[in-house]
Structure 1
Amino acid sequence: MTACPRAALVLNDQSLGFDESACDGCGLCRPACPEGAIRVSGGALQPLLDGRGHAALIACEHTRLPPGPGIVPCLHAFGRRELDHLADDGVAVIVAARGDCASCPRSTGKTIEAALVRSNASRSSRRETTLRYEHTVAAQWLKRQSEVIAAKFDIDQSRRALFGGILQRRPSASAATAEAWSAHELHHVVPELDVSLCVGCDACSRICPHGAISLQGGGTSLHYAIRAQECTGCRLCLDVCDVNAVSLRELARCEQHVVALKGQTCRKCGVPFHQPQTAPDGTGICRICRHTDHTRNLFQVRT
């Protein structure tokens, strides 16, 4: 919602709404959505692909260039996820022409340059190819656009098989190599649990739509498994944790993969429960009973 400069996304108690009359199609909501759930129709945010130079050409519509391939409503609608997809498809350089972002009413402070830094940092940690960013003036960009179109390299974006034939993908690393690199990988978002605060309620593991935090094992091997590569940064785990035990770190290594749990049986209600192994034993009372006065409905009757 905050990413939209025209407040076209409206949230109320029942649902998230969309005001079509307010939307100008800038696309800034697209990179802001951690789930990648937003699409901009009509090809308005498609770069012009130059297979000869392994380049993607994009130019802001506020450069006053005539409408055509590669002209987009806003450069900054290309976030980290979109740049990753381009790099995965073999693009090596972004060739961009921009308007005056400082005076643009669409400006929200989120930039394609910042997204590129995040994308490249993470890709470098995995030994994957990174993207270069070339800024050019509008006239030079238009000349490059004309050359690409004349050479018939303006490939239909929906036909990825054809695109892959011209921009060759980088070979994937072997499983052994990938495992060796994984310890040094910078993830875009890393969830962490503060074991000194965690009460083992499982709320974070139950609500995570991608299994970035999950309850695994059983008996003495019960534990929370943390898989940072699955985390999108949706922040649902932060919202649901009522003891603030969950935190998210951005562009970081995952250092906490397992949180071991110990099981007990509550001596008040008799229900099994678990908590981090490093938590103090306490009184053998579950988190519910610790906050519930079981005698509140008992009364002394005198005759």
Structure 2
Amino acid sequence: MLTQPEYRATRCTRYRYRYSECSRCAEACPHEAVELSDEGIRISASACRNCALCAAACPTEALLADNLPRIEVLKRTAKLPEVTFACAPSELNGDEIVPCLGGLDAAMLAYLTSRGVAVTLAGTQHCAECSHGVRGEARLGLHLEAVEALRGIVGSQKWAEISVPDEGETEPGKAGHDPSRRHLFRRFVGRGADQLTRPISATEVQPVPLKAIRFAAPFSTAGRELLQILFEAAPQDHVPLPAYPALYAAKVGIQPGCTACEACARACPTGAMQIRESGTAWELGFQFSRCVGCGVCVEVCQPHVLHFQDEMENLAKAPEPVILHALGKQRCTRCDRFFISPAPGGNLSDLRRGRCGFFVHFWLKESLMLTVPMNNFQICRLVPRPQAEAQHR
């Protein structure tokens, strides 16, 4: 009996931020079994065929497929000289039977081949007949392209090859032949894969109210940790790594205009966006080694100053976050509470104190910055002066 992937809501960007437009799992599903909503997603038990493509497409690992346990598979195969992955619909034999070859993500394939494990993908000639085939083949192309990029950055001297059997030469119970990577990429890369998964750009995001951000404890993903392992012994003077959607890693940049609303840090599921405070300063930090490129920080950013950069740095674990934005704290002369000034070293003559009480705020020429409690945490927002004055009467 087929089962459906387990859904972990607190890892889902649509659950963490109800206005998120992430649809990676639905776009990867070939059976239209994933239903999207402001509360997250729901998987239709009647439509799902448990191909695990939705789980492979999710950068935050909100979906967990029991028929493709990635860590257990890696433990069984990492010490073998070679391993054959066969897709279940093809009925071919292999060391590991997987529901769809497109469910083998780039982190898994790179981890094995970087350790000298030769990987054979058996059953690719069955994609045209398989109900998973169109989406599965495109997902596999994305992952192979990402592995090739990693191979070129880290160095391929010790990396083993990924191969597929020739079309027409594979029978049930047998897999053979080892074509070149060029032949492999001609078959799989560039088959509409860019339409399945792509980074979110700031121009695609529409402004929405800052509400319904569900806060939960940050977590790390197994795929991101596997990518970091590849760079533990890598040279530090490597060329920058281009951003690939299937790598589930990204480098976030910032433009001028941050309002210090902290929404990006509240919505970030992995803790890559961090708020660091002291008695005198407020800082927005970015922990690159925790970022999986889900894009929820870019979506939730109201002034649209956050963006994904085109290139990434070393994927190894970074000891300290990069400070994207820093502001100095000031003390309110009426309530004695701290507030954040609009810019480091800002001119306090531009600030006009107002009543505090339930709100902590300061006047900034034509606007009022309000800090209000929402969902057990505080959010700052800019309110036009006439509206703010009306609220405080």
Tell me how far 1:144 sits from its aligned partner. 4.8
Cα deviation 1:196-238 (Å, max 9, x = unaligned): 2322222212332322221235366643222222111222212
User: What aligned pairs does 1:190-201 form with structure 2 within 5 A after superposition?
Assistant: 190-201=250-261
Are residue 245 (structure 1) and residue 312 (structure 2) matched? no
In the other structure, the counterpart of 1:262 is 327
Q: 1:121 aligns with which of 126, 131, 149?
A: 149
Contact 1:28/1:77, CA 8 A, preserved across alignment:
yes
Cα deviation 1:79-105 (Å, max 9, x = unaligned): 223324434665243343313535654
Tell me how far 1:118 sits from its aligned partner. 1.1
With over 3 angstroms needed to count, the CA separation of the structure-2 counterparts of 1:234 and 1:140, relative to structure 1, is same
In the other structure, the counterpart of 1:60 is 87
Contact 2:94/2:122, CA 8 A, preserved across alignment:
no
Contact 2:93/2:175, CA 8 A, preserved across alignment:
no
CA distance in 2, matches of 1:206, 1:258: 17
CA distance in 2, matches of 1:94, 1:222: 51
SS at match of 1:2: helix
With over 3 angstroms needed to count, the CA separation of the structure-2 counterparts of 1:7 and 1:182, relative to structure 1, is same
Contact 2:121/2:162, CA 8 A, preserved across alignment:
yes
State how many pairs are aligned: 269
Unpaired segments of 5 or more residues in structure 1?
146-168
User: What aligned pairs does 1:29-178 form with structure 2 within 5 A after superposition?
Assistant: 29-42=54-67, 49=77, 54-63=81-90, 65-66=91-92, 69-87=95-113, 90-101=116-127, 104-106=130-132, 107-108=134-135, 110-122=138-150, 124-127=152-155, 130-137=159-166, 138-139=169-170, 142-144=173-175, 173=233
Cα deviation 1:168-207 (Å, max 9, x = unaligned): x99952xxx76x3588466743242333232222221233
TM (norm. structure 2) is: 0.54
In the other structure, the counterpart of 1:160 is none
Tell me how far 1:242 sits from its aligned partner. 1.4
Tell me how far 1:277 sits from its aligned partner. 4.6
Question: Greater shift after overlay, 94-103 or 78-87?
Answer: 94-103
SS at match of 1:291: strand
CA distance in 2, matches of 1:141, 1:280: 76
Contact 2:270/2:291, CA 8 A, preserved across alignment:
yes
With over 3 angstroms needed to count, the CA separation of the structure-2 counterparts of 1:244 and 1:18, relative to structure 1, is same
With over 3 angstroms needed to count, the CA separation of the structure-2 counterparts of 1:213 and 1:230, relative to structure 1, is same
In the other structure, the counterpart of 1:204 is 264
With over 3 angstroms needed to count, the CA separation of the structure-2 counterparts of 1:281 and 1:234, relative to structure 1, is farther
Tell me how far 1:32 sits from its aligned partner. 0.7
CA distance in 2, matches of 1:170, 1:271: 44
In the other structure, the counterpart of 2:211 is none
Contact 1:62/1:98, CA 8 A, preserved across alignment:
no
After superposition, the CA RMSD in angstroms is 4.2
**Between the two proteins, what is the percent identity of the paired residues?**
21
Question: Greater shift after overlay, 205-214 or 22-31?
Answer: 205-214
CA distance in 2, matches of 1:219, 1:39: 42
Contact 1:198/1:275, CA 8 A, preserved across alignment:
no
TM (norm. structure 1) is: 0.68
CA distance in 2, matches of 1:220, 1:182: 38
Cα deviation 1:123-152 (Å, max 9, x = unaligned): 54345754522121352784458xxxxxxx
Aligned-partner residue type, residue 296 of structure 1: A
Q: 2:390 aligns with which of 277, 296, 299?
A: 296
Larger radius of gyration: 1
Contact 1:118/1:251, CA 8 A, preserved across alignment:
no
SS at match of 1:99: helix
